[in-house]
Amino acid sequence: MIDNNEGYELKASIIEEAERMGANLIGFASVQRWEEFKDTNSEFFPQNIWPGTKTVIVLGLQIFLPMLETTPSVVYSELYNTTNRLLDDMAYKLANYLNKKGHKASFFPRDCYGDISVLVKKPEAAFSHVLAGKYAGLGTIGCNHTLLTKEFGPRVRLVSVLTDAIIPEDKMCEEELCIKCSICQKCCPTEAFTSKEGSIFKMDKEKCAKYHAELKGAYKYPCGVCIKVCPVGEDRKVYGMDANKYLKEKEVLKENKDTSEYSGWIHCRSYGSN
């Protein structure tokens, strides 16, 4: 047990450590939020997975939009794999940092499933970093089931550190970031998003997973279209937003694969993958 002042000091030192390692986002959530909101079954609560857990620390790394826009391609695949490696490395080091300070800590890997083929049969992982990110104040959940952040929209990868340290939690994001534009639904290559189910789209997870399995076999996994086209995020101030280009991509390329408008994307899709 640590007192309030020690909790804030520990939080400040963790933030400093995470930023030193290159994390773009960091948030803190008490495990009580899983009990309060009950967005998932209790077996997925961090305190039930690892008893003694008091705080979940969520780290985020951005996905660079120009690389994502080439999807499906080996360029985006390598970006995805790189962020995954960096996240697990940061989470390991942060858990180790907490251990050295006398606290129990471990981390949940950023995906935590062995292979996409597993998700075809059972489209669910052991822990949701999306919910953890929501509870840690990093953003809100969009229509496409992803965590939307003010900084990067859904173009962010997440990992979570679980610890018995009692650390002051962050305020949850009160502003609904999803603008309900439905562009994620319109651009989904598998049409996995259908009718609204509350504040999100009903999603055919099996259809989505099967498509990802195909992409992995072609060395251009994952898909990422629903995060590519989302207009939310301050990164759009840097890279811009052309909804029309996204919406007409499939139709235009069906008629003319050599169109100059998409030449860069097509180039990246034409090398290094099947």
What pLDDT digit, counting tens, does each position of 97-128 carry?
999 999 999 999 998 888 888 888 888 899 99
Whether the pLDDT of residue 2 is over 60: the answer is no
* Domain coverage including residue 270: 1-274
Lowest mean pLDDT among 2-6, 120-124, 233-237: 2-6
Span 91-105, pLDDT tens digits: 999 999 999 999 999
> Bigger pLDDT: 78 or 111?
78
Residue 112, pLDDT score: 82
Mean pLDDT of 212-233: 96
Residue 3, pLDDT score: 58
- Encoded amino acid at 49, one letter: I
* DSSP H helical ranges for the chain: 4-20, 32-37, 46-49, 65-68, 74-100, 116-121, 129-135, 183-187, 205-217, 225-228, 235-239, 243-255, 263-269
> What angle do the packed helices 74-100 and 4-20 form, to 10 degrees?
140
Residue 241, pLDDT score: 97
Counting the structural domains of the chain, the total is: 1
Q: Which residues contact 166 (CB under 8 A, 6 or more apart)?
A: 1, 2, 7, 30, 54, 55
pTM over 0.75: yes
Lowest mean pLDDT among 123-127, 188-192, 268-272: 123-127
